[in-house]
A and B are shown apart, each in its own frame.
Chain A
Amino acid sequence: MNRERAVDVFLSHITKRYGRILANDGVTVALKPGRIHGLLGENGAGKSTLMRVLAGHILCDEGFIEVDGVRHAGLTPGAAMGLGIGILSQDPLDFPPLAAWENFALGGPPRTRKQARDRLAELSESLGFSLRPDEPVERFTVAERQQLELARLMDADVRLLILDEPTTGISPEQKDILFGILRNFAANKGRIVILVTHKLPEAEELCHEVLVMRRGRLVGSFEPPYDAGLLLETMFGPEAAKAATEPEITGQAAMAAIRVREAAAPQKAQAPALAELADAAFSDEKSALPPVSLSLRPGEVVGVAGVAGGGQELFLRGLAGLARIRSGRYVLGGADMRGQGMAAFSRAGVHFLPASRMEEGLFPGLSLADHARLGFPRETGDLRDLFTRRFVDRFHVPNQPTAPASSLSGGNQQRLLLSLIPDDTRLLVAESPTRGLDVASCVQVWEHLHALAAKGTAVVFSSEDLDEILARSGRILVFFNRRLTADTPAAGQTVRGLGRHMTGRAAHSATKSPA
């Protein structure tokens, strides 16, 4: 096979059904050599399905893929790799307990340990990575795992590189390195890059062409200069496009929004602290955080930022009573919570909203009405009535009390979880509350969280989206390398500034950083 030739890929009428859902509906795309293609669309638009068909992970029901003039009705992962099609998945497909060089050697040609390590070192150097070859991958950051995966794909000499949301969980600087590599890759020998993303600025920055998918169809193809408004309208439909621009607000607009929220919670500034951490050190089975000291006031909305594995995950769980408090004090409403179980935290008014909704929050096989019964055990009246009043009328959960939770879409799962938050919650800890949601659901989530805050609930949330943190919170905590590196008002903060904290480059900056 001639890997020197420019690659030529054509997808014709790709259709893929999952039960009643049409994930891809006759998508036809011609990919041009030497170009970086952006593939945009909201969640569930069918981007990942299309890419997985191209990478051979799934078979399409109709249509075909043409590579270098040869038609393929369907590819297997091996066949796709053979054709030079490689995918960098959103969650790296590696083997965490194995060392970096072992991961690198897997799937490649047979090599001795020395050959594999040398080749990895050579590639790392040419790509500008510094990967420790003997370290198990589980100790790598998301960015390093991605780099290792990228090195493996380069070693396999891919000609078409697919990246599925590659900037989730990596810092802005790491993103710049990645984008540099992609530009080089595409410019060289007429190779192709497809960047799957829902982040408009990234597509604008990097891509020679932007393809937009909506509801399983390819609905638009754009070339620079891009019109952001038009792109959004194509992605979300006209009415939602306006709302979608909202999380983009920063700086002055964000400050104005925060002032509105502060006005809505007037008791905040004077009120005594709701929760007080004094050198509280959280740990779970896998890891431990150094002691943290801070206090939370009623009505505060606190955004927690950090790259994946930065420690913010454990911090949130610790706040919610889901991690052990190794040392120090955690006083909540006057009572020390150290050594208390989940039930005590619930009684104290703490509620946790997990990011993996179906895995941690809901009972897939139980009906919606059963969820209501479990969530409100003290409700003695008619359960049907509670379900209609609260779940359906107030939170727009589908009015199907006997349907199992597994039948719900992502947005409706979050609606069900929102309706299960008691109204008298004093501290709500929300892990990526809008992850994977469409615009309308995001808006509903934030309306409800801000309504809770206005009534005096302290809301602590994490997000992978720094824009969301800047736009939605009044105070921001940043974690880096398992430490709280910044605790600052949101006003005046920027994405770049937060990014520096998240990567530990702001150690000497002016923001106060508790020990």
Chain B
Amino acid sequence: MKSPSPASINILSALGLALAATLAVLFFAGAPPLTTLTVLFGGGLNSTASLLKTFSSFIPLFLCATALLATYAAGLWNIGVEGQITLGAVFAAGFLRLPDPGSFPPALALILALTAAFAGGALWALLAGALRVYGRVHEIFSGLGLNFAATGVTLWLILGPWKRAGMASLSGTEPLPEAFRLPGFAGKPASMAGLVLAVAAFALVVWLLRRTTWGLKLAAVRQNLKAARLMGLSPGRRMLQAMALCGGLAGLAGGLLVTGLYHRLIPSISGNFGYTAILAVLMVSLAPSFVPVACFFFAVLLAGAVQLPMALELDSSLSGVIQGVLVLAFLAAGRMGIGGKLGGKLGGKPGGRLEGRLTGDTT
């Protein structure tokens, strides 16, 4: 990051606006504003346990946000991340039902399960991609529809074919055998392997988008679909590739949720991480360098929200309101020039390939 520059001062003014809007919401919600904020932002940071909790949300969030960079780079509004996480979770859980925990090497089982998760997410995303490329169905509609379909699939599996012996329960499927769980961290289910995978995925995606011709082609597709076609860049294939990569990473997040956090398939396993990741990426106007920060910020908020009912007898859904208000305020500040052109200035080289998506054209 550069030293303080006009751009970063603008970011601060955008943050100021966001904070003011949040305080206004809290005021009208009848919550003590400052205490609430302390709980929200401090709750996820004030102890090792809560830090681990923060990290366990950070990993799927960061993976999904990374995934979204790939589709946004190609100009695709992939809002089907939720469903892609879910299908990843389904594939991982489904795979781990197959081998015998006594004899199958656990490391191999986990690697294969995560691979299956990647494939599951990619498949679900490719459905939306194919509908867009061959069927002219916009990915927003197919993504939304497939999210519902994915929820239906998990519920059916949990209550039907994969129900626990003797009882079908919404609490989920039979827990995984110990051997097929990702090693925890300090006894807590926050897996180091997940963090490593997320960071590696982020580095890979940013490298692909910024340094390779493939990334340039995605940028070309986003900039001008017609010209990309005329130049023989096969825009349809590029979009499918971006969707597959995005869905794969989201599926991986789902696989990590199964093997590292919940240790079984539960209903709504995607836990809104997909939607929150969209907010995180939008908040930093798709500037990759700021994506980890934004994801961590939201992870802190999510962890803090859990403590709202205990500490202040406020409903934790207030955190959702605050998240939404923050992102809106940020976007508004960027769009209306209060915070300068966030999209154009946050990170990235001039004429960069990812920035400016929000403040620029949306064709």
B217 — which chain A residues lie within 8 A by C-beta? 374
One of B227, B350, B356 near A363 (C-beta < 8 A): B227
Q: Which residue of B lies closest to A344 (CB)?
A: B232
Known A342-B229, A375-B231; contact A364-B224, beta-carbon cutoff 8 A: yes
Interface status of B167 (Cβ within 8 A of chain A): no
Q: A283 to B360, alpha carbons, bound, how many Å?
A: 34
In the bound complex, do residue A359 and residue B351 qualify as a contact, i.e. CB atoms below 8 Å apart? no
A 356-372 to B, binary, CB cutoff 8 A, 1 in contact else 0: 00011111111100100
In the bound complex, do residue A360 and residue B213 qualify as a contact, i.e. CB atoms below 8 Å apart? no
B223 — which chain A residues lie within 8 A by C-beta? 363-366
Known A343-B232, A352-B230; contact A366-B350, beta-carbon cutoff 8 A: no
Q: A377 to B212, alpha carbons, bound, how many Å?
A: 11
Q: A361 to B353, alpha carbons, bound, how many Å?
A: 18
One of B220, B227, B360 near A360 (C-beta < 8 A): B227
B306 — which chain A residues lie within 8 A by C-beta? none
A 403-426 to B, binary, CB cutoff 8 A, 1 in contact else 0: 110000000000000001000000
A 338-353 to B, binary, CB cutoff 8 A, 1 in contact else 0: 0001110010000010
Measured CB to CB, the closest approach of chain B to A390, in angstroms, equals 16
Known A361-B230, A365-B223; contact A377-B353, beta-carbon cutoff 8 A: no
One of A322, A341, A374, A403 near B220 (C-beta < 8 A): A374
Measured CB to CB, the closest approach of chain A to B215, in angstroms, equals 10
A364 — which chain B residues lie within 8 A by C-beta? 223-224, 361
In the bound complex, do residue A346 and residue B232 qualify as a contact, i.e. CB atoms below 8 Å apart? yes
Q: A130 to B115, alpha carbons, bound, how many Å?
A: 68
In the bound complex, do residue B232 and residue A342 qualify as a contact, i.e. CB atoms below 8 Å apart? yes
Q: A346 to B217, alpha carbons, bound, how many Å?
A: 17
In the bound complex, do residue A366 and residue B213 qualify as a contact, i.e. CB atoms below 8 Å apart? no
Known A343-B234, A366-B353, A373-B213; contact A359-B220, beta-carbon cutoff 8 A: no
Q: Which residue of A lies closest to B230 (CB)?
A: A352
In the bound complex, do residue B230 and residue A342 qualify as a contact, i.e. CB atoms below 8 Å apart? yes
Q: A361 to B223, alpha carbons, bound, how many Å?
A: 11
Interface status of B233 (Cβ within 8 A of chain A): yes
Interface status of A354 (Cβ within 8 A of chain B): yes
One of A365, A374, A404 near B231 (C-beta < 8 A): A374
Measured CB to CB, the closest approach of chain A to B234, in angstroms, equals 6
Within 8 A of B (CB), among A356-404: 359-367, 370, 373-375, 377, 402-404
In the bound complex, do residue B230 and residue A360 qualify as a contact, i.e. CB atoms below 8 Å apart? yes
Measured CB to CB, the closest approach of chain B to A426, in angstroms, equals 15
Within 8 A of A (CB), among B227-243: 227-234
Q: A131 to B257, alpha carbons, bound, how many Å?
A: 67
A404 — which chain B residues lie within 8 A by C-beta? 351
Interface status of B216 (Cβ within 8 A of chain A): yes
In the bound complex, do residue B351 and residue A403 qualify as a contact, i.e. CB atoms below 8 Å apart? yes
In the bound complex, do residue A363 and residue B232 qualify as a contact, i.e. CB atoms below 8 Å apart? no
B227 — which chain A residues lie within 8 A by C-beta? 354, 360-363
B361 — which chain A residues lie within 8 A by C-beta? 364
Measured CB to CB, the closest approach of chain A to B328, in angstroms, equals 25
Measured CB to CB, the closest approach of chain A to B75, in angstroms, equals 11
Q: Which residue of A lies closest to B221 (CB)?
A: A363
In the bound complex, do residue A366 and residue B234 qualify as a contact, i.e. CB atoms below 8 Å apart? no
Q: A420 to B231, alpha carbons, bound, how many Å?
A: 9
In the bound complex, do residue A402 and residue B351 qualify as a contact, i.e. CB atoms below 8 Å apart? yes
In the bound complex, do residue A363 and residue B220 qualify as a contact, i.e. CB atoms below 8 Å apart? yes
A374 — which chain B residues lie within 8 A by C-beta? 213, 216-217, 220, 231, 233
Q: A38 to B76, alpha carbons, bound, how many Å?
A: 48
A420 — which chain B residues lie within 8 A by C-beta? 231
In the bound complex, do residue B216 and residue A402 qualify as a contact, i.e. CB atoms below 8 Å apart? no
B 119-147 to A, binary, CB cutoff 8 A, 1 in contact else 0: 00000000000000000000000000000
Interface status of B226 (Cβ within 8 A of chain A): yes
Q: A365 to B227, alpha carbons, bound, how many Å?
A: 13
One of A359, A362, A373 near B216 (C-beta < 8 A): A373
B356 — which chain A residues lie within 8 A by C-beta? 365
Q: A360 to B351, alpha carbons, bound, how many Å?
A: 19
Q: A386 to B360, alpha carbons, bound, how many Å?
A: 30
Interface status of B219 (Cβ within 8 A of chain A): yes
Measured CB to CB, the closest approach of chain B to A410, in angstroms, equals 16
Within 8 A of A (CB), among B143-179: none
Q: A97 to B220, alpha carbons, bound, how many Å?
A: 32
In the bound complex, do residue A367 and residue B351 qualify as a contact, i.e. CB atoms below 8 Å apart? yes
B350 — which chain A residues lie within 8 A by C-beta? 367, 402
A 134-167 to B, binary, CB cutoff 8 A, 1 in contact else 0: 0000000000000000000000000000000000
One of B229, B351, B360 near A366 (C-beta < 8 A): B351
Measured CB to CB, the closest approach of chain B to A19, in angstroms, equals 15
In the bound complex, do residue A360 and residue B226 qualify as a contact, i.e. CB atoms below 8 Å apart? yes
One of A341, A343, A346, A359 near B226 (C-beta < 8 A): A359
Q: Which of B220, B351, B356 is most buried by chain A, counting CB atoms within 10 A of its CB?
A: B351
In the bound complex, do residue A370 and residue B216 qualify as a contact, i.e. CB atoms below 8 Å apart? yes
A354 — which chain B residues lie within 8 A by C-beta? 226-227, 230
A366 — which chain B residues lie within 8 A by C-beta? 216, 219-220, 223, 351, 353
Q: Which residue of B lies closest to A320 (CB)?
A: B230
Q: Which residue of B lies closest to A343 (CB)?
A: B232
Measured CB to CB, the closest approach of chain A to B286, in angstroms, equals 12
B224 — which chain A residues lie within 8 A by C-beta? 359-360, 362-364
B 326-363 to A, binary, CB cutoff 8 A, 1 in contact else 0: 00000000000000000000000011010010001100
A377 — which chain B residues lie within 8 A by C-beta? 213
B216 — which chain A residues lie within 8 A by C-beta? 366, 370, 373-374
Q: A22 to B224, alpha carbons, bound, how many Å?
A: 29
Measured CB to CB, the closest approach of chain B to A396, in angstroms, equals 21
B 204-226 to A, binary, CB cutoff 8 A, 1 in contact else 0: 00000000010011011001101
Measured CB to CB, the closest approach of chain A to B235, in angstroms, equals 10
Q: A377 to B220, alpha carbons, bound, how many Å?
A: 13
Measured CB to CB, the closest approach of chain A to B349, in angstroms, equals 8
B219 — which chain A residues lie within 8 A by C-beta? 363, 365-366, 370
Measured CB to CB, the closest approach of chain A to B262, in angstroms, equals 42
Q: Which of A341, A361, A363 is most buried by chain B, counting CB atoms within 10 A of its CB?
A: A363
Q: A366 to B227, alpha carbons, bound, how many Å?
A: 12
Q: A363 to B360, alpha carbons, bound, how many Å?
A: 13
B226 — which chain A residues lie within 8 A by C-beta? 354, 359-360
Can you report 9 A-B residue pairs in the complex whose CB atoms are below 8 A from each other? A341-B234, A342-B230, A342-B232, A361-B230, A366-B216, A370-B216, A370-B351, A374-B213, A374-B217
Q: What 3 pairs between A and B have smallest CB-CB spacing? A: A363-B223, A346-B232, A360-B226
